[in-house]
Amino acid sequence: MKNFLILTLAGLLLLSCGGPSDLAYQVNSPDNQITITFMTLNGKAAYTVGYKGNTQIDTSFVGFEFQGQAPLTGNLEVTSQQISTADETWEMVWGEQREVRNNYNQLKVTLQETAAPNRTFDIVFKAYNDGVGFRYEFPEQDAFGEEVVITEEMTEFNLTGDHKVWWIPGDWDIYEYLYTESKFSEINAYEQFIEGDHLGQVYLNSNSVNTPVTMKSDDEIYLSFHEADLTDYAGMTLKVDTANLAMVSELVGNDSGIKVKTSAPFVTPWRTIQITDRAGDLLESKLIVNLNDPNELGDIDWFQPMKYIGIWWDMHLARRTWDYASGNHGATTEYTKELIDFAAENDMGGVLVEGWNTGWETWTDPNMRDTIFDFTTPYPDYDLEYLANYANSKGVQIIMHHETSGAVARYEERMDTAYQLMNKLGIHSVKTGYVGTIIPDGEYHHGQWMVNHYQNTLDKGAKYQVAINMHEPIKATGLRRTYPNAISREGARGQEYNAWAGDGASPPSHLPTIAFTRMLSGPFDYTPGIFNLSLKPYKENHPIKSTLALQLGLYVNIYSPIQMAADLIDYYKGNPAFQFILDVGVDWEQSKVLDGEPGDFLVTARQEKGTDDWFVGGMTDENARPYTLKLDFLEEGKTYTAKVYRDADDTHYLDNPTAIDIVEMEVKKGDEISVNMKEAGGFAVSLLAK
C-alpha cells in the first residue's frame, strides 16, 4: 500500500493506494489508539487494523460467494463515504454493570461493481477504544432479485505474528470442548474433534476454530475475535491457514450447501476484534453488547436475577433419573416441594426441575425422539400445577425445563401451547435443551435455521413473559441488550462433565481459560457451588479438580444473572461456607477485573446493584498462587465487614478439597488481605458496607 496523504475530512483520512481509482480511508478510535484503514486494491475491498502505531491485522480482503451469481470479490470502487461519531450511555436491565458507555467513531463506505451485475453494498466500521466491529449492509437492488443465497462469506483476518491462541474446534454443532493453548501455527482442530460424543451431535468441516477465539502476541497485545448481533444469519467459524498465519470466515451451512438464505435489504452480523494491553480489559469490554440494538422489550419486571437450586445434579451423579420407568424418578412432587421449602428458607428465587414431563424413557432413541416430548404432560408422580402454586406462595418460582432431543421442528409446533402453560402457572423462566442432531435432517445447531429458532424462543418468551436459558445453544453475540429475556446459556463445557464417567473432570486450567474466551460472549450458566467435591458415595475415584474456595469464587468470576447452587442441598445444610452463596449478589452496579491471565488465574470484584457491598472471587489453575488482595477499589471513607473464604494451609484439590479457612475482619480502602490460592484453588470475599 502506498501511504500518500491527501487530506483529512472530519476525522477521515484519505489515502491513495493501488490503481488510479483505488483509495484508502482511515478512522480512529476516540482515544486515537486504534486505527482502521479501508482500501480498494486493484478493485478488491480490504482493511487493516492498527493499535498504538503497530499493525495487528494486516491487509485482509473481504467478499462473498452466492448461488447462481458470480462472486462479489472484485471490480469494486468506492462511490461514497461518510464519517460519524457517537457517545451515549445506556442502562443494562441486568448485567455486569448498570451503565454502559457506547463511544465510537464510524466509517461507512459504499461500494459498487464497475461491471455487470453492478451490485452495491456498504461496509460499516466502528472504532472503539477496546476494539473494532464491522459489518456488510446490502440495500434492495435489482441485481439480487427476490432471493439471495450466500454460499460463503470471505472475511479475512490476517495476523502479524504466530500468536499464542486459546481455541476450540470450529464444530458446527457443539462448543463443549476443552480449550487448547497453542501457537497459531500449531492449530489442528481435527486432533481435538470429539467425533461420536453427544449422540452424534458434532460436525467439523475444516481446520477451523469457533469464536470467541483469544490470542496473545509476542509483544503482549491481547486480541479476541468474535461476532455481534447474530440475527437471521449463519454462525461464523474461522478457517485457519497455519502456514500464512491467516483466518477467513467460514459460515455454518446445511447439507444443501446453503449458508444463508435471505432477501435484500439485509445486513450481516458485526465481525469483532477486541484489542487490549491487559487480559482483564477483554472481560471488562462491552464492545459486543454495544454493537447490538437497544432494548426492544422494555421493562421485563416479571424476570428478576436470582440464585436457584434444582433437580439436576442428582441425575448426573446417577442418584436419581430423568425417566419415570426406572423406579428412581427424580422429579417427584415430594422432592420438588422439599427443594421449594429450602429455597424459600434461604431466599433463593427458583427451583429447576428436569425430568418432570413424559418421554424420557426413549428420548435418545433415534426412531422415537421426534415425537416423545409434548412439553405439557407431567409424569404421574409430579403435580405441576400444585407445585407451581405452592412455589409462588413461598416467593419461589419453578424453573421449567424443555429438552427437545434435537427435534426442533416438533418443538416449534408445540411451543405456543407450552409457553401458554408457563404463563398460566406464573412460571417465568425456562431452560431449553437441544441434545442430539437436529431434526429436520441436514441442519446444524449453529446454522441459520437454528439461529432463527433460538430467536423464536426469545420472541415466544417475550410474548408469554418467559426468560430463556439456552443449553446446546448458538453462541452469545450480545443480543441480551436487545432481548433482555435472553438471560443465560451454556455453550461451553460445564460442571456436568465433572460428574461423568471416566476421567471426565475438567482440568484446573479450564475455568481460567473459559473466563477469557467463552465468557467474552456473554453470561454462562456453568452451575457452580459443588461442595461434595469427591462425589462420594455416588462416584468413586472421580474427584472434581477444584477446591471448595474456588467453587465459591465462581459466583463472582463466572457471570450469569441466574446462578445455581448446584449440589445436593444436604451438603449445604450446616456448612458455614454456604453463607457466601446466600450473601453474594447476582446483579451488579459495576465490575472490575483486578488481575488475571488466560488459562492461569482470574480475580474479579463486583459491586452489588442497589448497595455499597462488594464481592470478590479468585481462581487459579494447577499451580499454587500466592496472592494479596488489594482493596483499592473500595469507596474512600467507608468501613466494610470482610468475610474471607480461602484455601487452608492443608487444602489440596485431590485429597483435601473442602478444607477452607473462613475469617472475618474490618477493612477499608487501601487495605490488603492475604488469599493465597492452592493448586486448583481460589477464594471468595464478601465486603459488606457498615
Active site residues: 496
Buried residues in 534-551 as b, exposed as e (16+ CB within 10 A)? bbeebbeebbbbbbbbbb
Q: Grid coordinates standing for 240?
A: 485457519
Q: What angle do CA 272, 274, 275 make, to 5 degrees?
A: 140
611 CB burial (10 A radius; 0-12, 13-18, 19+): exposed
Q: What angle do CA 261, 266, 269 make, to 5 degrees?
A: 90
**In this structure, what are the phi and psi dihedrals at residue 679, rounded to the nearest 5 degrees?**
-55, 130
Pairing state between β 120-128 and 76-91: unpaired
First to last CA, the chain: 61
CA gap 432, 428 in Å, rounded: 13
Is residue 179 within 8 A of residue 167, CB to CB? The reply is yes
Instruction: Tell me which residue of 562, 520, 519, 301 sits closest to 430, measured CA to CA.
Output: 562
Gyration radius from the chain CA atoms = 25
Q: Grid coordinates standing for 680?
A: 486448583
- Helix (H/G/I), strand (E/B), else coil: 386: helix
Is residue 269 within 8 A of residue 233, CB to CB? The reply is yes
Local structure of residue 75 (DSSP, 8 states): S
Q: Which uninterrupted H or E stretch holds 641? A: strand 639-647
Sign of the torsion formed by the C-alpha atoms of 19, 20, 22 and 23:
positive
CA gap 526, 560 in Å, rounded: 8
Query: Which value, to the nearest 10 degrees, does the dihedral of the CA atoms of residues 488, 494, 496, 500 take?
Result: 160
Local structure of residue 378 (DSSP, 8 states): B
CA gap 283, 523 in Å, rounded: 11
Packed helices 408-424 and 448-464: angle between N→C axes, nearest 10 degrees:
10
The 3-class secondary structure across 482-521, one letter per residue, is CCCCEEEECCCCCHHHHHCCCCCCCCCCHHHHHCCCHHHC
Is residue 162 within 8 A of residue 243, CB to CB? The reply is no
Is residue 247 within 8 A of residue 62, CB to CB? The reply is no
User: What does each C-alpha distance from 134 to 62, 137, 186, 272, 535 come to in angstroms?
Assistant: 11, 10, 28, 7, 47
Packed helices 384-393 and 333-345: angle between N→C axes, nearest 10 degrees:
10
CA gap 50, 28 in Å, rounded: 9
| Strand ranges inside 114-198, DSSP E | 120-128, 131-138, 148-159, 164-167, 180-183
